[in-house]
């Protein structure tokens, strides 16, 4: 029997087959979870539909996380179809390309607000939508973060500030939702070539740097991130909440 047999999970953040959220979805599916997907805008619908169909998932719901009405209708639909939810995977971030290069001191008010809204606030809004559906059986929520939220990474700029906010939100949400039997954690992934990552200026150099300097002397794969996500979304991690777990070939421990 799979680790997630009988569990229902909502996956936010699949854009294509390179998305970290997609690797997580496949891992959860292998362990028996039934999955629903949200997608950001009509442009992505067909691609997400094909991917979801390949693992037998038919529940697809549009949701732009900057729109409260989309979030309300997403959880309304989940309640209508499933009545309850066990797992929420939040794998969403966005910043304007102009903010992901040059000097951080040039961050605009609007660029800051957008990056924070999509990449950090959306976890809070999603957790608020999810917890009433998780209260009866408990639940597991994870989000995706990056070292740039704790240390300065060239060009990561405002996204680093958003990830710092996201990681702090994980702790506050874990404290709020713990008494309801809900665990909230983050996975801090090393760099992986995805659509979002390609928006960061100099991304390829970061990959080379990790290969040279990390203890494992290589980059990590989305599948490795997905296996840690599985741990955090299964009973194996029942006593873990409010944590950020690194899956980065050990790079974050290096001082010099
Ligand atoms: P991706 O581009 O495949 O995924 C990003 C997702 O965010 C996309 O599905 C996109 O549709 C969604 N999104 C953006 N704006 C949205 C909005 N307004 N409403 C709803 N959805 C929206 O890239 P990815 O690398 O898989 O990114 C997933 C998460 O992993 C992000 O939080 C990212 O910061 C994080 N992460 C990525 C890396 C990496 O190197 N790829 C490393 C650490 C953390």
Q: Would you list the DSSP string of 49-69?
A: HHHHHHTT--EEEE--TT-HH
Catalytic residues: 146, 156
| CA-CA-CA-CA dihedral for 210, 213, 216, 220, to nearest 10 | 0
**In the 8-state DSSP scheme, what is residue 3?**
T
Residue with CA at minimum distance from ligand 1 atom 3: 19
Task: Give the tens place of pLDDT for each residue, 9-44.
Answer: 999 999 999 999 999 999 999 999 999 999 998 899
Ligand 1 centroid distance, CA of 212 (Å):
25
Alpha helices, DSSP H, located in the chain:
20-30, 42-54, 68-81, 109-116, 122-134, 157-177, 195-198, 203-213, 222-233
Most ligand 1 atoms within 8 A of CB, residue of 10, 12, 13 to mutate: 13
Range 66-72 average pLDDT: 98
Ligand 1 centroid distance, CA of 195 (Å):
8
Residue with CA at minimum distance from ligand 1 atom 21: 40
Q: Ligand 1: does its nearest atom lie under 6 Å from the Cβ of 11?
A: no
Evaluated on CA atoms 92, 161, 242, 74, the torsion sign reads negative
Q: Ligand 1: does its nearest atom lie under 6 Å from the Cβ of 40?
A: yes
Token pair recorded at residue 75? 């959880």
Averaged pLDDT of the chain: 97
How far apart CA 93 and CA 66 sit, in angstroms, is: 11
201 pLDDT band (50/70/90 cuts)? confident
Output the pLDDT for position 133: 98
How far apart CA 30 and CA 12 sit, in angstroms, is: 18
Please report, in angstroms and rounded to a whole number, the separation of the first and last CA atoms in the chain: 45
Measuring CA to CA, how many Å separate 127 from each of 72, 85, 122, 143, 209?
12, 11, 8, 11, 35
Instruction: Say if residue 200's pLDDT is above 90.
Output: no
Range 109-138 average pLDDT: 98
């Amino acid at each position: 029997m799979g680790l997630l047999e009988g569990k229902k999970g909502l996956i936010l953040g699949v854009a294509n087959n390179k998305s970290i959220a997609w690797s997580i979805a496949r891992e959860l599916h292998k362990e028996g979870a039934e999955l629903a997907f949200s997608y950001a805008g009509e442009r992505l619908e067909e691609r997400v539909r094909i991917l979801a169909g390949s693992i037998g998932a038919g529940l697809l719901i549009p949701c732009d996380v900057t729109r409260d009405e989309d979030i309300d209708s997403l959880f309304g639909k989940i309640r209508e179809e499933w009545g309850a939810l066990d797992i929420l995977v939040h794998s969403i971030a966005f910043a304007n390309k102009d903010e992901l290069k040059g000097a951080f001191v040039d961050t605009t008010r609007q660029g800051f607000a957008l990056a924070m809204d999509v990449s950090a606030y959306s976890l809070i809004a999603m957790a608020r939508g999810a917890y009433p559906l998780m209260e009866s059986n408990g639940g597991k929520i994870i989000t995706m973060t990056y070292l740039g939220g704790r240390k300065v990474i060239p060009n990561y700029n405002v996204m680093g500030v958003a990830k710092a906010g996201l990681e702090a939100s994980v702790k506050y949400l874990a404290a709020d939702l713990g008494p309801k039997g809900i665990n909230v954690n983050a996975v801090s992934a090393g760099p992986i070539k995805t659509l979002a990552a390609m928006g960061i200026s100099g991304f390829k150099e970061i990959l080379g740097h990790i290969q040279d300097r990390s203890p494992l002397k290589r980059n990590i794969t989305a599948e490795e991130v997905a296996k840690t996500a599985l741990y955090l979304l299964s009973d194996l991690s029942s006593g873990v909440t409010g944590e950020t777990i690194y899956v980065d070939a050990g790079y974050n421990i290096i001082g010099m």
